[in-house]
Structure 1
Amino acid sequence: MPRDLTPDEAARQVRWSDAASRDTLQLIAEGVTQVAGFGIAAISVVRDGALESVAIAGNDQARAELEGTRTTVERVLAELEKADDWGLLRFVPHERLDPGAGDTWGWVPDIQPIDAPDAWDPMDLLIAPLYDDSGALRGTLAMDLPLDGLRPGQAQREVLNTYAEQAGRAVVVALEREALADQVRMAQAARRIVRKATAQLSLERIFADSTEALLEGFRAAGMWIQTFSEEEGQGLILSADGLDVALSPQLRRIAEGAAREAWRDQQVAIVGPGRPWLPPITDAEGGLILEFLAQIGVGSLMFIPLGAGPECLGNLALTRLTDGPAWTEAEAAAALDIGHDLGHAILNARTFEREHELVEELQALDAYKGQLIATVAHELKNPLTSVLGHLEMLDASPDLSGPTRGSLATMERGAQRMVRVIEDLLLLAKVGDANTPLISVPVDLHRILEDVVDLSTMAARHKDISLVVDSPTDPVLALGDPDELDRICGNLVSNAVKYTPEGGTVTVTLSRRADRVELSCADTGIGIAPEDLDRLGTEFFRSSNPEAVAQPGTGLGLAIVQRIVERHGGELVVESELGRGSVFRVTLPAA
Structure 2
Amino acid sequence: MAEAEPSELTTYRIHRVMAEAWSHTALRDSLQVVADGVVELVGFGVAALSVLHDTGELEVVAVGGDDSAREELLGTFSPMAGLAEELAVAEHWGPRLRFVPHERLSSAVGTIGWVPQYEPVDSPDAWHPLDLLIALITDADGVVRGTMSVDLPDDGLRPGAERRRQLETYAEQAGRAILTAVERARLSERVRLADAARKVVREASGQLSTDALLDAAKEAVVDGFDIQGLWLHTFDADGDGPGRLHSSDGAQLRLEPEMVALGEKIARACWAEQRTLVVSPRREDWLLAPAEHEAVCDYLASVAVTSVMVVPLGAGQECSGLLALTRDDSDPDWSDAEATAALDIGHDLGRALLNARLFERERRLVDELQALDAYKSRLIATVSHELKTPLSTVVGHVEMLGMDPDLSSRGRTSVDAIGRGASRLHHLVDSLLMLAKVGDPHNVLDPAPVDLGAALRETAQLLEVQAETRGVVLDVDLPEAPVLALGDQDELDQLCTNLVSNAVKYSVAGGRVELGVRRVAHGPDVCVELWVTDHGIGISEVDQEQLFGEFFRSTNPVAVAQPGTGLGLTIVARIVERHRGRIDVRSVLGEGTTFRVELPAAPG
Normalised TM-score (structure 1):
0.85
Bigger shift: residues 119-128 or 59-68: 59-68
Cα deviation, residue 455, structure 1: 3.5
Asked whether 1:390 is paired with 2:402, we answer no
Asked whether 1:255 is paired with 2:263, we answer yes
Distance 1:255 1:33 in 2: 45
Distance 1:35 1:438 in 2: 86
Bigger shift: residues 346-355 or 540-549: 540-549
Cα deviation, residue 577, structure 1: 4.2
Cα deviation, residue 470, structure 1: 2.0
Is contact 1:21-1:170 (8 Å) kept? no
Match of 1:3 in 2: none
Distance 1:548 1:284 in 2: 80
Flag the 1:337–1:500 CA change in 2: closer, same or farther, 3 A: farther
2:148 to 119, 141, 145: 141
Q: Which amino acid aligns with 1:225?
A: L
Cα deviation, residue 193, structure 1: 1.2
Cα deviation, residue 545, structure 1: 4.8
Cα deviation, residue 296, structure 1: 0.8
Match of 1:551 in 2: 562
Distance 2:79 2:418 in 1: 102
Asked whether 1:264 is paired with 2:272, we answer yes
Match of 2:334 in 1: 327
1:348 to 332, 350, 355: 355
Asked whether 1:576 is paired with 2:582, we answer no
Cα deviation, residue 30, structure 1: 6.3
Match of 2:308 in 1: 301
Normalised TM-score (structure 2):
0.83
Match of 1:7 in 2: none
Flag the 1:114–1:353 CA change in 2: closer, same or farther, 3 A: same
User: Within 5 A, what are the aligned runs for 1:459-470?
Assistant: 459-460=466-467, 465=472, 467-470=474-477
Cα deviation, residue 316, structure 1: 1.7
1:486 to 493, 497, 504: 493
Flag the 1:40–1:267 CA change in 2: closer, same or farther, 3 A: closer
Cα deviation, residue 295, structure 1: 0.9
Cα deviation, residue 58, structure 1: 6.2
Q: Deviations over 1:434-476 (max 9, x none)?
A: 5557666544333332222234445545666554322112233
2:516 to 509, 512, 517: 509
1:292 is paired with a residue of what secondary structure?
helix
Flag the 1:41–1:330 CA change in 2: closer, same or farther, 3 A: closer
Cα deviation, residue 523, structure 1: 3.6
Cα deviation, residue 307, structure 1: 2.1
Match of 1:586 in 2: 598
RMSD, aligned CA: 3.5
Cα deviation, residue 70, structure 1: 4.5
Is contact 2:24-2:30 (8 Å) kept? no
Q: Which amino acid aligns with 1:309?
A: G
Is contact 1:45-1:171 (8 Å) kept? no
Cα deviation, residue 342, structure 1: 1.8
Gaps of 5+ in 1: 1-15
Match of 2:502 in 1: 495
Is contact 2:267-2:321 (8 Å) kept? yes
Flag the 1:166–1:196 CA change in 2: closer, same or farther, 3 A: same
Asked whether 1:44 is paired with 2:55, we answer no
Match of 1:378 in 2: 385
Match of 2:552 in 1: 541
Q: Which amino acid aligns with 2:101?
A: P
Q: Deviations over 1:1-45 (max 9, x none)?
A: xxxxxxxxxxxxxxx996376676566656656666656544332
Match of 2:436 in 1: 429
Q: Deviations over 1:314-368 (max 9, x none)?
A: 2221111144322222222222222222222222232233233223322222222
User: Within 5 A, what are the aligned runs for 1:121-520?
Assistant: 121-146=128-153, 150-229=157-236, 230=238, 232-273=240-281, 283-433=290-440, 442-460=449-467, 465=472, 467-501=474-508, 505-513=512-520, 516-520=527-531
Gaps of 5+ in 2: 1-21
Cα deviation, residue 575, structure 1: 3.1
Bigger shift: residues 438-447 or 414-423: 438-447
Q: Deviations over 1:385-414 (max 9, x none)?
A: 233333333333344454543343233222
Bigger shift: residues 186-195 or 44-53: 44-53
Cα deviation, residue 276, structure 1: 5.2
Distance 1:278 1:40 in 2: 32
Cα deviation, residue 285, structure 1: 4.2
2:281 is paired with a residue of what secondary structure?
coil
